[in-house]
Amino acid sequence: MSIIQPVLTRRRLLQLSGLSGMGLLLGSCASTSIAEQVGATIDPLNQRVEELLLNPQALVPEFPISAIEPEALLINTFDSTPNLDRAAFRLVVDGDVAQPLSLSLAEIESMPLTSMVIRHVCVEGWAAIVQWGGVSLRELVRRAQPKSTARYAYFESADGYYESWDLASTLHPQTILAYQKNGQPLPVENGAPLRLAAPIKLGYKQSKWVTRVTLMSQLPSKLGYWEDFGYEWFAGL
Ligand SMILES: Nc1nc2c(c(=O)[nH]1)N[C@H]1C(S)=C(S)[C@@H](COP(=O)(O)O)O[C@H]1N2
Ligand SMILES: [Mo]
C-alpha cells in the first residue's frame, strides 16, 4: 500500500496489475461506470467516501495514560510558529463537499471529544507516546456532506505547511484535529489551536496550525511540504 503514489492514474494502476489492455479498452470506449467499477476493485486509493463512512476501519491499539512520555515529544517546526487569534479563528472544510463549513473554535469544541494515547513517530529518529484530545475528522467531513468524487484531503497550515492524505486515512476513526495534549490545552508550539493527530501516519503528515481541509478528487502537483523534498507520500505506520 505504501508504495502506491497518488500520481498513479487508474490506467497506470491497471498497467501495473497486468490489465493494461483492458484499461485501454475501457478508456477508449468511454464507459466510465464500468471503468470505475474495475478501478474500485483494484485501487486501494479509490475507496468511496460513502463506503468509508459506513464501514469504519479497524482501530490501532492505544496505550494507557501511564505510558505517556511528556518530555519525549520534541518540537519540530520547519519555520516560525504562527500565533493565531483564537476569537477570529475559523476552520474551513471545503472542496468536494455539498455543505462547506467555516467553524469557530467554540463550535469545534462543542462537538464530541475524541481522546487517545498513541505513539508519535518522527522520521528524524525519535518517537513519543502522547495523549491527544480533539474532534474526529471523520465527523467534520461527515457534517460537510462529502461528494462521491472526493478521494483525498488537503490540509493548509498557518505557517505555510501543507499536506495531503488519502481518504481512508482521513476518515480513520483515530484521525483527529487535536486541541489538547496530555490532558491540557494544546500548546502553540505543538500546533494550537488545531493540529492533526493519528496513530496511522508518520509525524510529518500531522500538520500543526491547520486552517483549512479541502476534499479533492485529484491532488495538485504539490503533495506536501516534506514530500516535495522527496519524502514518501503515504507515510503509513
Ligand atoms: N504546520 C506544521 N506542521 C508540522 C510541522 C511543521 O513544521 N509545520 N512539522 C511536522 C513534523 S516533521 C513533526 S515530527 C511534527 C512534530 O510535532 P510537534 O512539534 O508537536 O512535536 O509536526 C509535523 N507537523
Ligand atoms: Mo517529523
Q: Whose CA is nearest to atom 9 of ligand 1?
A: 77
Split at pLDDT 50, 70, 90, the class of 15 is very low
Name the amino acid, one letter, at 38: V
Are the C-beta atoms of 176 and 210 separated by less than 8 Å?
no
How close is the Cα of 149 to the center of ligand 1, in Å?
A: 29
| Residue spans of alpha helices (H) in the chain | 10-16, 20-29, 32-42, 49-54, 105-109, 137-143, 167-170
- All three cell numbers of 223, joined, read 503533495
| Ligand found nearest the CA of 76 | 1
CA–CA separation, 210 and 215 (whole Å): 14
Query: What are the boundaries of each domain within the chain?
Result: 62-229
CATH architecture of 62-229: Alpha-Beta Complex (3.90)
Handedness of CA 100, 106, 112, 118 (dihedral sign): positive
Residue-wise pLDDT tens digits, 93-126: 999 999 999 999 999 999 999 999 999 999 999 9
Give the end-to-end CA distance of the chain in Å, rounded to a whole number: 11
* pTM of the predicted structure, to 2 decimals: 0.84
- All three cell numbers of 127, joined, read 518517537
**Closest atom of ligand 1 to CA, residue 76:** 19
Three-state SS for 67?
helix
CA–CA separation, 55 and 59 (whole Å): 12
How close is the Cα of 207 to the center of ligand 1, in Å?
A: 6
Q: Average pLDDT in the 5-18 region?
A: 36
Residue-wise pLDDT tens digits, 157-199: 999 999 999 999 999 999 999 999 999 999 999 999 999 999 9
**Best residue for ligand 1 mutational test, from 118, 162, 204 (most atoms within 8 Å of Cβ):** 204
